[in-house]
Every structure is written in C-alpha cells, then in structure tokens.
Structure 1
Amino acid sequence: MTTRTILVVDDSAVMRKLIAATLADDAYRVLLAADGRQAMQHAREAAIELVLTDWNMPTMGGHQLIRELRQLENHAETPILVLTTETSDAEKADARTAGASGWLRKPIEPATLLEVVASLLGTE
C-alpha cells in the first residue's frame, strides 16, 4: 500500500506538530505549512491527497487558500478539511462555498481526526 500525503496548514507550530504526529503515527506522509502561501507552494510541487487547514491565519487564511487550491487542476477535487476553533454557521457555509469538504472544531481528538481522514481518503 502506498503512503498517502497530507498537507497540514496552521499558523500555530504546536498545532502543526500535534496533527503531524497523529498522522505520522498512522503512517501518513505529512507536509507542513504555516500559512496559505506556503501551502500553495507545496500544492504546486507535491502530490497531495488531502489538505487539513486552519481557517484564521495571517498572510493567506483558509478561505482564500481553499479557493486558490480549487483553481489548480490537480486540486480541483482534493479533499480539504477545515480544522478551526470557529463555530459559526456562517463561517461553515463560507468554507463549503469556497470548496471545503468538511469542518472539525479544535481541539480535535486524535481518533476522530484519523477517522475523518480515513473517510475522506476512502481508506476506512
């Protein structure tokens, strides 16, 4: 079985490390980005099968990142999961309109994250 590549985008270094450790323990290859601009660079250079992104980030937030990813031919259908502390229905609707595949509220239980990731990747 090939290793699946997941891009984790969050302006919090601690959050990136926690998510990366959870995913790496489950044998995923993890790429890290501190903001949307770094994420776009990865998206242009690497084969990414899932994006996990924070919503509120400096430089380029989750909303803009999702819209820009959806404009890239190789990421038009890539699952994108928003991981955030935001809870408003309006923000969730904005994420879906931008092209997000789902939404998980932080803090996230590792088991829940792995379950949702497997579901989005079709490996459950």
Structure 2
Amino acid sequence: MRFRCIGCNRPIDWTSEESFCYTCPCGATIFYDEEKDTPVAPASLVAVIKAREELPHLDHLVGRSHFTSPLKERFAEQLTSLGATWMKDCEQCLEDGTYQSQLDREVSEWRRSRVTSLSTPCGHES
C-alpha cells in the first residue's frame, strides 16, 4: 500500500488517481505517501489554510491514537503554528462539554470492542 494514515499508520487503499474523501477510524483525515514521505492533506484543509480561516481541531486532522512518528509530530507542529489546537486544549470544547462527549463516545466504543473481542476465549466470534 502506498498511502498510510498519519494518525495511526493504517494502510489506506487509494491509488491517488481520483478524488478521495476518507476519515480513518482513529479520526485522522490526513494521510502520507510512503514513497515520498510527505503528507497528503484533504482539499478542504488546504482551502481553510489558504483562506486563513479557523482550522479544525488536531483530533480531526491527525487523529487520536498512541501512534507517533516524526512526520506526524512535524505536521501537528506545523498545524499548531497555523492555529490548530487539540480538543483537550480548546476552552470552548471544555466549557460546552464537547470534549467530554468525545471522551465518553471513545470509552463507549472501546467497551463495545472489548466485549466483542472477549466473546470467545480466542477473541474471535464463533
């Protein structure tokens, strides 16, 4: 696979021959080209940057996972220098409960996935 998620390193099945819109399960919408070691940002992000509008939260750009890489860190730093923030650092998200709602959804999804994986001794559905 030529493209991978910048947030969690999952392979992305895209040939780069047509337009593409995808959000990885980790939340990332930015991918990278393994051959060139460069990020591939969605057109909407490029448009927001050019228009100097408020950027989406980093959670929605580089995703939320424990995976780290020099490219992910570098790109997150570049986005931060342009004004992007993590939801956990956003006063509005903290005040209006958006961040807590996101955490609650993630915990709920994690619990559902744990129940499924523990359904049989080997972790597979029978």
Give me the TM-score of the superposition, normalised by structure 1. 0.31
Q: Say which structure is richer in strand.
A: 1
User: Greater Rg, structure 1 or structure 2?
Assistant: 2
Give me the TM-score of the superposition, normalised by structure 2. 0.30
Which of 1 and 2 has higher RCO (CA within 8 Å, sep 6+)? 1
Q: Say which structure is richer in helix.
A: 1
